[in-house]
Structure 1
Amino acid sequence: MDNKCGKHYKKYTEYAKRFEILSNPIRIGIIVALADGPKKPKEIRALLGVPQPLLSQHASVLKEMGIIERVDKFNVKSPCQLKDKTILDILKAAGIKV
């Protein structure tokens, strides 16, 4: 692929990453769980019915992409909250109730 061709679609890479994030039901569940406010990981686990290691793995992806964050960044037991609420618009557009 030449440089000229790459320029035309490169700007869509970040958008594609958002859809990639939303390709997993656990990550969607985490986002939906946090739509109405911060929750502790234990509360999210109870809502989704997933084991703690699996929840942590998917929450890490969402944190890395800037979708969620801890309320208190210095407390590992702090509740999580949505950092980028625009992701809710994407879910709503897909027909997901948030």
Structure 2
Amino acid sequence: MSESCGKKYKKYEEHAKLFELLSNPIRIGIVVSLAKGPKKPKEIREELGVPQPLLSQHATILREMGIIEKVDRFNVKSPCRLKDKRVLEILKAAGIKID
């Protein structure tokens, strides 16, 4: 691939990462769950019906990408909240109901 071709689409890499992030149903479920307000990991796990290690894995990915955050970052059991609300608009545009 030529260098000029690579530069033209490079500006879309961050957007592509966001779509890749939202390509997993568990991560979508976490975002939808937090759209209603902050929740403890246990509440999200029970709502989605997923094992704790799996929820933790996907929540970590969402935190690393700046989508969610801990209300109190020093407390392991602190509730999580949605940090980047633009994902809600993307999910709504995709036809996902956000309560």
TM-score surpassing 0.5?
yes
Q: Structure 2 stretches of 5 or more lacking a match? A: none
Q: Deviations over 1:39-89 (max 9, x none)?
A: 000000010000000000000110010000000111111000000011000
In the alignment, which residue of structure 2 is the partner of 1:29?
29
TM-score (norm 2): 0.97
Q: Distance in 1 between matches of 2:67 and 2:37?
A: 14
Deviation of residue 2 (structure 1)?
Answer: 2.2
Q: Distance in 1 between matches of 2:40 and 2:70?
A: 9
TM-score (norm 1): 0.98
Q: Structure 1 stretches of 5 or more lacking a match? A: none
Task: Kindly indicate whether residue 85 of structure 2 is the aligned counterpart of residue 85 of structure 1.
Answer: yes
Task: Kindly indicate whether residue 61 of structure 2 is the aligned counterpart of residue 61 of structure 1.
Answer: yes
CA RMSD of aligned residues (A): 0.6
Runs of 4+ in structure 1 off by over 3 angstroms are none
Q: Distance in 1 between matches of 2:18 and 2:84?
A: 11
Kindly, what percent of the aligned residue pairs are identical? 77
Q: Distance in 1 between matches of 2:79 and 2:96?
A: 23
Task: Kindly indicate whether residue 18 of structure 2 is the aligned counterpart of residue 45 of structure 1.
Answer: no
